[in-house]
Amino acid sequence: MTDHTPRIVRADTPQGVSAQLHGRWGAAELGTRSQWKMVSDELRASPAGPDLGWDLTPLQWLDHVGAQLLWNHWQRAWPERLACTDSQRDMFERVAEFTTAPPEPREAWSLAEQVDHLGVLVLHGVSHARHMVEMVGQLVLDLGRLVRAPRRGPWRDMSGHLYRMGATALPITALVGFLIGVVLAYLMSLQLRQFGAESFIVNILGISLIRELGPMLAAILVAGRSGSAITAQIGVMRVTEELDAMRVMGIPHGFRLVMPRTLALAVAMPLISVWTTLAALAGGMLAADIAMDISPAYFAQALPAAVKVGNLGIAMAKSVVFGAFIALIGCHWGLRVKPNTQSLGEGTTASVVTSITMVIIVDALFAVAFKNIGI
């Protein structure tokens, strides 16, 4: 019975030692783990070199799997002494044509590369900071121009942005604020009931919602909603070359694009903040009535005494800063969008992330700077 097992037999020939291949070198025979291990061990015992010839004529079968295995063993080069049939040589030539070199292992970053990468990041951040400073400076100049000639101001653009960024944001901010108020009231009622301090729910909800959570929650919602819209609008204008057309026509980007959005959001943000805070207080009032039997009348009567007017002033001031910065960041990333769709998506994502991060940082700065006011 014929033995089809793939194997290598060393033989002495007049030209020197030769490795003769026997059996069937195909996918069916080399597919099992045991056969593959045995053939791999025999190949390692017969390293490719000028002193060893290869004789493939005794083979019963050879397909591309066996040819690829031998080609890799020969270090992707023809051996000096090779005996094979024409069909076998054609197969090796096809394998050699479609064989790609393995990727070189990537070396770990050296210290110099890490320092260079850090330098690139620093320069990238400096470029963004410089552009933001230029934008703020141009905004100041545009506001001076608006004050000198108010009739020439883009009031229609401001009105449209005020509606889209402010009025259309009222439903979602009210819903989220109401639910946040309900959640806070229920969670705090569980703790206050243990100490018999149910009446202090008014103080806790009033301070936390009016001073901190209301403005910050509204700003985060607006940053994700309107900040991304600003970047997308200006980014699309970059992709469609409208910004270049405006520059050719002598229409300044700052006066027609940045200033209307910044003023509109700076005006709308305090109103949205008050709206969100009222919705959150309504949710907290309802939850306090259900969970702690604190009537809405008592809640409304005790709230002015628990929360001083200074807290509302701080909340309004923060909201104005939040709105201006969200609009400026949205315009910044929109103007830096390159004329392709991938850059537009990346710029919109970066705008939202940067705006939310800025809101949290500015809120923390206000909390530290005005910690003794209104408490």
Residue 293 sits at φ, ψ, to 5 deg, of 60, 35
Do 44 and 150 have their domain in common? no
Do 124 and 74 have their domain in common? no
Q: How many domains does the chain have?
A: 2
Do 204 and 278 have their domain in common? yes
pLDDT at 107: 58
Q: How many H-runs (helices) and E-runs (strands) does the chain carry?
A: 16, 6
Do 17 and 66 have their domain in common? yes
Do 318 and 273 have their domain in common? yes
What is the per-residue DSSP string for 219-261?
HHHHIIIIIHHHHHHHHHHHHTTHHHHHHHTT--HIIIIIHHH
> Is 321 domain-assigned?
yes
> Is 374 domain-assigned?
no
Domain containing residue 38: CATH number: 3.30.750.24
Do 86 and 234 have their domain in common? no
> Is 147 domain-assigned?
yes
> Is 265 domain-assigned?
yes
Do 20 and 154 have their domain in common? no
| Local confidence pLDDT in tens for the 375 residues of the chain | 466 777 877 777 777 777 778 778 777 777 777 777 887 877 777 777 777 777 777 887 788 777 878 877 777 778 877 778 888 888 888 888 777 666 566 655 567 778 888 888 899 889 989 999 999 999 999 999 999 998 888 999 999 999 999 999 999 999 999 999 999 988 888 788 777 777 788 888 888 899 889 999 999 999 999 999 999 999 999 888 898 898 899 888 889 999 999 999 999 999 999 999 999 999 999 988 888 888 888 888 888 888 888 888 899 999 999 999 999 999 999 999 988 888 888 999 999 999 999 999 999 999 888 887 766
Do 76 and 187 have their domain in common? no
Among 67, 98, 129, the domain boundary falls at: 98
pTM greater than the 0.75 cutoff:
no
Tokens representing residue 171 in the block: 């439903």
Do 29 and 173 have their domain in common? no
> Is 108 domain-assigned?
no
The secondary element (H helix, E strand) that includes residue 313 is: helix 309-335
> Is 40 domain-assigned?
yes
Q: Residue 79 sits in which domain range?
A: 7-98
pLDDT at 147: 92
3 state DSSP class of 11: strand
pLDDT at 104: 62
Cβ neighbours for 124, distance < 8 A, ≥ 6 positions apart = none
Integer Cα distance of 212 and 314 in angstroms: 9
> Is 111 domain-assigned?
no
Do 243 and 214 have their domain in common? yes
Do 35 and 184 have their domain in common? no
> Is 176 domain-assigned?
yes
3 state DSSP class of 339: coil
Among 70, 98, 126, the domain boundary falls at: 98
Do 89 and 127 have their domain in common? no
